[in-house]
Structure formats: C-alpha cells, structure tokens
Amino acid sequence: MKFFTVLAIALAVSSVQSTNWAVIVAGSNGYWNYRHQADSCHAYQILKNAGYNPAQIIHFAYNDIANNSQNPIPGKIYNKPDGTDVYAGCVIDYSGAAVNSANYLAVLKGQSSASLPKVVNSTSADKVFLNFTDHGAPGLIAFPNDYLYAPDLQTALQYMKDNNRYSKLVYYLEACESGSMFTSLPTTWNIYATTAANPTESSWGCYCGSQATVGGINIGSCLGDLYSVVWMEDSDKLTAGETLQAQFQVILNLVTQSHPQQYGDLTWTSQLVKDWINGPGPISAEDQKAHELRTKSLVNSRDIKLHYLINRHANEMSENTMNELNEEIMMRKLFDDIFTGIQTLHADVPLANDTDFDCYKDIISFFEAQCGRFTEYGMKYMRSFYDICANKKEVVVDAKKMVMESCTAGKLF
C-alpha cells in the first residue's frame, strides 16, 4: 500500500510538470555578452531539473559562446565563479539567425512551420513560463538583428489568452528599461510579470572582472546578470513553501542597483515557486558569500562591452585589442555627440510612460538606415526618440535632420 501511495504522488508530480511549457531566450550575440547565454542555459537546467518535459522547453540562443575562440574553457559556459558547466546538456532549439522576434512570437502563438517545428502547443490547462535575457530600451527588447516592441509582445500574449493557451503565465524579463515592456499589461489576463529594472533605468551584470573566474581561469566576460542570477540561485535552493511573491522579495533585497518591478495579475503570486521553476536543491553554496561576490563585481549593462574590451586589451596588449577598444570609445563618443543635439529638442518635457509606437519604430528605423544599428551603449539614447514620439512629434522632422547631418558620410556603427 505504501508503495502505491508513493507511486501515486510521483505520478501526480509528473503530471503537474508535464503540463508546464517554457520559452527561454538569450537575445544577444558576441563574447562580451557571454552572460546572456550563461543565464539562459542556467534557466534551462533549472526547468529540466524541476521536471519539465524537455520537449516542452523551447530555447533560443545564438550559440556563439561555448565554442568561441575567446572562451578559455572551450565547450563550457559558467553562470557563477567556480560553478558548474551550465552548457552541458543545455538544448538550444533555435540558434544563429533563427533568434529573431518574428520566430519568438510565432513560437508563443504555437504557429509551427518547416523552419519552426518546435512551438508552444499549450492548452487552457497548462502553465507557461517565459524568460528573456538581453539588452533593452524604452518599449523594446533586442534580438541580435532586430527588436521586439512592447505592443507586439502584448498582442502575442493577448493571442495566447484569447485562444486559451494557458491557465497561468509567468514572465521573468532581464533587460535595461525592462519595466517599460509591461506598463500596459492588463491585470485580468492571468499573467504575472517581473522585470530586472523599472521603465527608466539600466539593469546590471555581475560576476565580472576578477570575479569571472572558474578553476583559476578568468573567463574574460561577465558570467551573469544580477537579477537573473539572483532568481536562479534562489530557485536552485528549492526552498520548501517559497511563493512567487516571496521570491520577488528575495530579488528586491539583493538587486539594489536597479528597481525590479511586478506587473499584471498579482492575485496569485502566493503560488509556490516549485510549481514553476525550482531546481534540484539543496545547494551547498553559502548565500552570504555568493552575495558578496555578486556585489563586488557589478557593472552597468550599458558599459559591459567597454569593460570587456579594457580587460581584454590589458591581458593581450595587442594592436588588434587596442584598435577594438579605441573603436568602442569612439563609437560611444559619436552617440554622445549625435544625441546631445537631439536631446535639446525634448528637454522641456518629462519622461514618457508610453509613446506612439508607429512613430517610435519609424524614427529608430530611419536612424539605423542612416547611421547603423544601435549598439548596447547607444540604446540608452532610444529614450530621446521614445519621449519625442510621446510628447513632441512636431520635432520628429528636426530630429531626423540632425541624424542625417550627423551621418552624412554613411553608416557610423
């Protein structure tokens, strides 16, 4: 009898997890963005250990980090100092050019095709967990070659709601200005979202510089993002009885350089974390030691590439690394110079909470056609276009003129 009781419990747990779906995204490429794929592979390991069916975890990652020529530990990726290899067994379903916003939205909607065979085929009885880690700006999050705008994400989430594709949905979003993606999220959709930052501030990388070390070898790039590392290391512990709300309090307590936010339906955050994202637990790492390591090595996400290039040149002292560092410094100055003038066009208006997204998309596309793609550093200046399109559309023509004058010689970035 005891055997059958245990078996029944095991089957019940299996049944619960078999109705969970997840989509994980690392939206960047480039070795200086090591941390994003480290985050996403760690998230994959957590979900797999939590009992998710691997066929129901869909993972987007460019997959250019583990075997990158700059990786001093080839074939492996780490998300914390002297941690475990999170790349081992990390299944990536869509990589390279397939990591784009159109594919992501199609996967969420369950729209399979020859190039997208694995999508979310959830029902009204299923729970869905979404995790995105990358760069952001007001009202958008970035993919390697395009952007996903807040209204388009919300339209996809509404499609999922209207077509009964989940019972409850949780979204953990790591990006600068990430709060701006959910300011219009209704509270009646059974969606709970939490973000690394509010709508106007940067997120932060951690385990950077001298802390980015595994077995005495410095990885040369930040190992994680602070918000992501905090929620994942908390999930690794498998704390009995911890609720989603309690985990958010952990995030608030440990992520102090930005202001994590909650959006959507907060009426069911009393649900247990273990029903969504708990790992194998228990872990042996000392919480205080991990916290000290994180806080010693924080870098603003907008500046991580610069820090990476400085450290790389300090280690190699080559003409190539000096040139790359100088190019980054010059690029940052070009963005500063271009937007010094543009910012005068909207200096008399407050920061906007929402914008005209048709205008916003148009002026971003115009800028990139003239000057080149926004860099991680340059994305902080998208705020100017966001505010202009919200409050002073009459100066859009002037802003475009300034862009054309700044980039008369062609694309700069």
| Positions marked active-site | 135, 176
Residue 3 structure tokens:
């055997």
Structure tokens at 59: 């993972």
SS3 content of the chain, % helix, strand, coil (to 5): 45, 15, 40
DSSP labels, 324-358: HHHHHHHHHHHHHHHHHHHHHTTTTSPPPSS--HH
Cβ atoms 227, 255 nearer than 8 A: yes
What is the C-alpha to C-alpha distance for residues 212 and 228, in angstroms, rounded to an integer?
A: 16
d(CA 299, CA 226) in angstroms, rounded, equals: 9
* Coil vs helix vs strand at 112: coil
CA distances (Å), origin 134, targets 144, 145, 257, 327: 9, 12, 17, 22
What 8-state DSSP symbol labels residue 144? S
The C-alpha atoms of residue 212 and residue 207 are separated, in whole angstroms, by 5
Phi, psi of 42 (to 5 degrees): -65, -45
Q: Cα–Cα distance between 1 and 213 in angstroms, integer?
A: 51
C-alpha 398/C-alpha 403 separation (Å) is 9
Output b/e per residue, 247-284; b: 16+ Cβ within 10 A.
bbebbeebbebbebbbbbbeeebeeebbbbbbbeeeee
Alpha helices in 255-303 (DSSP H): 287-296
